[in-house]
A = this chain, B = another copy of it.
Amino acid sequence: MTYHHGNLRSALLDRAATVIAEEGIEALSLRALARDLGVSHAAPGRHFKDRADLLAALAAEGHRRMTAALNTAATAAGDDPVARYNALGREVIAFSLRHPAYFQVTQHPEVERHSDPSLMAARQAFGDTVRAAAAAAQAVGWRPDEDLEALQLFSTAAALGAASVLMRQSKFAGRPTAELLAIAGRVIDLVIPPSLEALRQES
């Protein structure tokens, strides 16, 4: 045996991501992963306590990347806090469409219940980013009467739900990404005005 894979941990995470993208989370097996990488069936155990632990690590990575994507999208959106929060919503959907494996793993109930510390930290960082943007939009007049954290949680859930619909519903299957993103934009606009100006015109 050649032994010595070197970076088995990241190789496992990579392979897991592609397996999940192709066949879904249920099809993921530690032993199959080990076989795919030409390594013994117990080798994954050195890096991940169990299957849930691997999924948690993958989900943490997904949250970190989503957070990073949101930050660049926010700065690209300019100064208007309402437009920024709207852009965040769109980016949640765009990122999900770009990275279906991360979407699946972060949204999977089995993983959501899991309380790995590094996963919880990544989740919290993601929530903090969204909450800060929601607070800025609220500060300039968007939904001033609602509880901030509730606004954050429910708008995030709505955006992720929309992403799920766009990925799973046959109505949208096979449509080009650009079209899906356009639809995503309209959906986000239902909840968050596209700009401060639009918000002021509403009422």
Which A residues contact B (CB, under 8 angstroms)?
A: 24-26, 104, 107-110, 112-113, 143, 146, 149-150, 153-154, 157-158, 160-162, 164-165, 168-169, 171, 183, 186-187, 190-191, 202-203
Contacts and interface: CB of A to CB of B under 8 A. Distances in A.
Contact of A153 (B109, B154, B169, B190): B169
Given A24-B110, A110-B26, A202-B202, A164 B157 contact: yes
Contacts of A143: 190
A109 B157 contact: no
Nearest to A110: B26
A187 B26 contact: no
Nearest to A112: B168
Contact of A161 (B157, B183, B187): B157
